[in-house]
Amino acid sequence: MIDSKIPDFSLPATGGQTFSLAAQTGKAVVIYFYPKDSTPGCTTEGQQFRDLYAEFAAVNTVILGISRDSVKSHENFKTKQNFSFELGSDADEAVCNLFAVMKMKNMYGKQVRGVERSTFVIDRSGVLRREWRGVKVPGHAQEVLDFVKAL
């Protein structure tokens, strides 16, 4: 998938919006997939992107967080954490499947299907330039920012 054009997709997002990849042409796009709103790792990850948001915006970069949670759940999470970026709801997993982030995971000794924490950077012409899979949260948002600045 690296160095290939990402097909357009759209999904319902916070702020009463529909996020469309095609509408972002001319901007770099950071898409981060996370398992669940308001859980410890997902909250910390979102806060790190929030804290660096102005630096991403300064290099003409859009951030979108995606999980399978509902838009209503996303709105609560976004408001509570004061995120400056939108969260997309992928309840039917169409975008999760496009990026192949659905994995079998162990949770309390049981196999469950869930979102593998992953981040993707798409350049200004819609081409995937970098992916991180199985993301460990500490320092991750800064690493993504450093990559985007080098695009």
Residues classed as catalytic: 42
CA distance 34 to 114: 9
CA distances (Å), origin 120, targets 49, 62, 75, 128? 13, 12, 22, 7
Q: Residue 10 — φ and ψ, nearest 5°?
A: -140, 155
CA distance 103 to 20: 25
Start-to-end Cα distance in the chain: 17
- Its sign, for the CA torsion 130, 115, 61, 58, is negative
